[in-house]
Amino acid sequence: MNRWLAGILDFAFPATCHVCDGKLAPHERFACSHCLSTLPRTGFHRRDLNPMEERLAGKVPFVRATGHFFYTRGSALSTLIQDMKYRRYPGIGEMLGRIVAEELFPSGFFSGIDLIVPVPMHFLKQARRGYNQTHHIANGISKAAGIPVSTALKASRSHKTQTSMTLQQRLDNTSGIFSLPYPGSLDNKGILLVDDVCTTGSTLISAASAILDNAPSAKISILTLGVTF
């Protein structure tokens, strides 16, 4: 179904929650307040050397990192993320990005951040899907935190799906796929690298490495919606 038709149908028939199928209140979109409030928060941003930072430590230099929700297969969060990525609901990314940023903001998580950089998608894949969901997550964070989004990081080639790979295989698979065509744009900047889910961290490590190879004075922090454990 095309987006316009979906929009008209959403208007004609009351929208339901993507998670529980309950009817949405007029101010709600994609998911009801109850389903959103019960997504399992990690609280990692309140901990020194949290488990996600331990996962990435020693692989790439970074200031701080967090995944905001625990991600498990078949969970409410996975339903929302699957719909965001594969069922043409990029607005879910913006909604979740905004919620995450609003919850992180009081802790000072965004202090020193000048630019939000979404992990890019290769343009052919993006052309097929019609959008890069990570960009929509970054837009939601941007609106809540008041920090601009930069698209300086590009994916110069596509990578294979990584579901059954080890960390080393994933690092080899993603190594060299990211590039910074105009490196000067990130010099001396505090960068918040954003992705949907952190599993092994290989994509984030490759993306952060590409930024630091080209802009060594950049300071990188990392934020994902979900994190697996």
User: For binding to Zn ion (CB under 5 A), which residues are involved?
Assistant: 17, 19-20, 22, 32, 35
Shortest distance, position 75 Cβ to Zn ion, whole Å:
13
The secondary structure of 164-175 as a DSSP string is: T--HHHHHHHHT
**CB of 35 or CB of 204, closer to Zn ion:** 35
Shortest distance, position 162 Cβ to Zn ion, whole Å:
30
Give SS3 for 132: coil
Determine contact, residues 68/225, Cβ cutoff 8 Å: yes
Shortest distance, position 8 Cβ to Zn ion, whole Å:
23
Strands 190-198 and 219-227: parallel
Shortest distance, position 204 Cβ to Zn ion, whole Å:
30
**CB of 17 or CB of 212, closer to Zn ion:** 17
What are the structure tokens assigned to 174, written together? 């993603």
Question: Residue 23: exposed, middle, or buried by beta-carbon count in 10 A (0-12, 13-18, 19+)?
Answer: exposed
What share of residues in the chain are helix, strand, coil (percent, to 5)?
40, 15, 40
**CB of 30 or CB of 110, closer to Zn ion:** 30
**CB of 36 or CB of 198, closer to Zn ion:** 36
**CB of 35 or CB of 193, closer to Zn ion:** 35
Shortest distance, position 13 Cβ to Zn ion, whole Å:
17
For residue 23, CA distances in Å to 54, 92, 98, 209, 227 come to 41, 17, 22, 44, 29
Shortest distance, position 33 Cβ to Zn ion, whole Å:
8
For residue 72, CA distances in Å to 133, 147, 154 come to 19, 30, 29
The distance of Cα 78 from the centroid of its chain, to the nearest Å, equals 13
